[in-house]
Chains A and B, each alone.
Chain A
């Protein structure tokens, strides 16, 4: 079982043995739960005797305490990785995991409410909502039903009071958001703002480190390379890549399709704000890119400035 654990000032999903290790009131982990499905460094194939063999199997895991925005993030990854042709590694890991969601209170970085990802209707097995005297549990899958069925003694019937408390909590939560993204016509607005001076302003501030890509629950670019383990064995490994790296847009012969930091900075905003009619935006408003940006660039502020520049 993996759950949020506090280490220094940072929360992260770690292997836990007992409830006391879990940080129930965490805001956000540095790396989103995607790290369990799209690994930062992931062995795909192993070369033995001149033949590729599939790498070892997958251990079943329980992910406890996943916030609603991260559940939405995983659903966006599902769209890509489970689409034909299915990514076998991702699929196996998704099938072998149990997702237990947990309610949260937003901090100054969260803007998930603006994107409609502050509440999860699916994408989890169980979802725990905090109440004054326990948890209200929503069941989101067959697997979730089975868990509830097998552990009947842990559950009590829902009362009117529980529902009232749940509503109060959700209301309080909805009113606690400090950041709002104006998503009205966002994708069209950005399309018009390709030459906005705001991009040029931020190009100078951005360090091009790619941190925002690493911590983003929906960023999924990866690079592949082969590594020799010894004279007879090699592995094919994929690892996170970042569209902020110059090599990302490079092709044979040295031509680069996104040669400047301006191109790369803008590209990320376009990719995150792309609106898919069936899946929504590619951003879930978790606030990680803001919190972990060493240059203190704020996602919502950039988009607001671009919008203002158009008016």
Chain B
């Protein structure tokens, strides 16, 4: 049934920061576990039985089978319950929903991932996918965070900062609040680590616009500035992908919470998105 969820067991809970936890899950039904396929950028609806449902993007990659991961920030009532759950607990999952990033179309190109804060979660799926398949020419990751303590998947990001070049993966990091750890990182990896905002990381970077795709995810305020940087470098709007957030209740285009646009172009973020190109944003008002 459309709104029935499937039992998934929490295999591991990892504290990423003081606000975010990473949940590794697996469906209880082994058959479902095998047939569960998704694309980077898609999302699922998590059902905490008797408390409610919330949408969340998948932050693991489909190239690693048998489990999937969700990065949950504690911001409201539902996520607070989620944070109380432990290994072995069961939650309901339905999905995957949404369109996801066109990974196959982008094969052979350079990917510029621009993440702001929690936006790292869906882009981590793309990052891992690209690293696992090795089908992309070059990968840039521009990541802007508030402070060192807020860096999501810190060990992975720092590992790639150190060794990413060998895999054609170039990581750049911007932080806003100065702490000893940041200064240490900056000393080691300047200018790839700097104090500032994510757009500062574009300084001095040029891309082969014919062969580059940009993938953006971050807080609403970020899009305008990042897109400007990309357009300044003559990247076509059709090569700029972004993934958006709305209060999706159903995930399948019924409940109406994610409707955006005007009388000529109405879009459901849940089923027409959540991944959109900048062309979509230009033709659909209210998208960003």
Q: List residues of chain A with CB under 8 Å of any chain B CB.
A: 44-45, 47, 50, 52, 54, 80-81, 83, 85-88, 186-188, 190-191, 194, 220-226, 228, 234, 236, 238, 241, 243, 248-255, 257-258, 267, 269-271, 273-275
Is B164's beta carbon under 8 Å from chain A? no
A-B contact pairs, 30 of them (CB 8 A): A47-B50, A50-B90, A52-B49, A52-B92, A85-B252, A86-B2, A187-B262, A187-B264, A194-B262, A220-B256, A221-B256, A222-B254, A223-B255, A224-B53, A226-B50, A234-B50, A248-B247, A249-B246, A249-B247, A253-B73, A253-B75, A253-B219, A254-B75, A255-B219, A255-B220, A257-B286, A270-B262, A270-B263, A273-B263, A274-B264
Q: List residues of chain B with CB under 8 Å of any chain A CB.
A: 1-5, 47, 49-54, 73, 75-76, 79, 90, 92, 219-220, 245-247, 249-250, 252-257, 259-264, 266, 285-286
A residues within 8 A CB of B73?
252-253
Q: With a 10 A CB-CB cut-off, give which of A222, A243, A257, A258 has the most chain B CB atoms.
A: A257
B residues within 8 A CB of A252?
54, 73, 75-76, 79, 245
B residues within 8 A CB of A50?
49, 90
Dominant secondary structure at the B interface: loop
Q: A87-B254, A271-B266 are in contact. Are A250 and B49 (CB under 8 A)?
A: no
Q: Are A88 and B2 neighbours in the complex by a CB distance under 8 Å?
A: yes
The minimal Cβ–Cβ distance linking B194 to chain A, given in whole angstroms, is 26
Q: Are A221 and B264 neighbours in the complex by a CB distance under 8 Å?
A: no
Q: Are B263 and A44 neighbours in the complex by a CB distance under 8 Å?
A: no
The minimal Cβ–Cβ distance linking A48 to chain B, given in whole angstroms, is 11
A residues within 8 A CB of B49?
47, 50, 52, 226, 234
Q: Are B254 and A186 neighbours in the complex by a CB distance under 8 Å?
A: no
Q: Are B1 and A88 neighbours in the complex by a CB distance under 8 Å?
A: yes
A residues within 8 A CB of B254?
80-81, 87, 220, 222
Given the complex of chains A and B, what is the CA–CA distance between A252 and B52 in angstroms? Answer: 14
Q: Are B255 and A224 neighbours in the complex by a CB distance under 8 Å?
A: yes
Q: With a 10 A CB-CB cut-off, give which of B1, B54, B79 has the most chain A CB atoms.
A: B1
B residues within 8 A CB of A258?
286
Given the complex of chains A and B, what is the CA–CA distance between A83 and B285 in angstroms? Answer: 25
Q: Are A52 and B255 neighbours in the complex by a CB distance under 8 Å?
A: no
The minimal Cβ–Cβ distance linking A56 to chain B, given in whole angstroms, is 14
Q: Are A85 and B2 neighbours in the complex by a CB distance under 8 Å?
A: yes
Which residue of A is nearest B269, CB measured?
A: A257
A residues within 8 A CB of B250?
222, 224
Q: With a 10 A CB-CB cut-off, give which of B51, B257, B285 has the most chain A CB atoms.
A: B257
Q: Are A222 and B262 neighbours in the complex by a CB distance under 8 Å?
A: no
Can you list the 6 inter-chain pairs with the closest CB atoms, starting with the nearest? A221-B256, A187-B263, A234-B50, A190-B263, A273-B263, A270-B262
Q: Are B263 and A274 neighbours in the complex by a CB distance under 8 Å?
A: yes
The minimal Cβ–Cβ distance linking B75 to chain A, given in whole angstroms, is 5
B residues within 8 A CB of A271?
259, 266
B residues within 8 A CB of A190?
262-264
B residues within 8 A CB of A223?
249, 255, 257
The minimal Cβ–Cβ distance linking B29 to chain A, given in whole angstroms, is 13
Q: A50-B49, A88-B2, A226-B52 are in contact. Are A191 and B263 (CB under 8 A)?
A: yes
Given the complex of chains A and B, what is the CA–CA distance between A270 and B285 in angstroms? Answer: 11
Which residue of B is nearest A53, CB measured?
A: B4
Which residue of B is nearest A186, CB measured?
A: B263
Given the complex of chains A and B, what is the CA–CA distance between A268 and B90 in angstroms? Answer: 39
Q: Are A191 and B75 neighbours in the complex by a CB distance under 8 Å?
A: no
Additional 20 contacts, C-beta under 8 A, given A255-B219, A269-B263:
A44-B3, A45-B4, A47-B50, A52-B5, A52-B49, A54-B1, A54-B4, A81-B254, A85-B252, A191-B262, A221-B256, A222-B256, A223-B255, A224-B53, A225-B52, A226-B51, A234-B49, A250-B247, A251-B246, A252-B245
The minimal Cβ–Cβ distance linking B251 to chain A, given in whole angstroms, is 9
A residues within 8 A CB of B220?
255, 257
Q: A190-B262, A191-B263 are in contact. Are A222 and B50 (CB under 8 A)?
A: no
Q: Are B252 and A224 neighbours in the complex by a CB distance under 8 Å?
A: no
Given the complex of chains A and B, what is the CA–CA distance between A252 and B90 in angstroms? Answer: 23
A residues within 8 A CB of B246?
249, 251, 257
Q: With a 10 A CB-CB cut-off, give which of A87, A190, A255 has the most chain B CB atoms.
A: A87
Q: A52-B92, A190-B263 are in contact. Are A243 and B50 (CB under 8 A)?
A: no
Q: With a 10 A CB-CB cut-off, give which of B53, B90, B254, B261 has the most chain A CB atoms.
A: B254
B residues within 8 A CB of A251?
245-247
The minimal Cβ–Cβ distance linking A53 to chain B, given in whole angstroms, is 9
The minimal Cβ–Cβ distance linking A39 to chain B, given in whole angstroms, is 14
A residues within 8 A CB of B264?
187-188, 190-191, 274-275
The minimal Cβ–Cβ distance linking B146 to chain A, given in whole angstroms, is 13
Q: Which of B2, B51, B255 contacts A222 (CB 8 A)?
A: B255
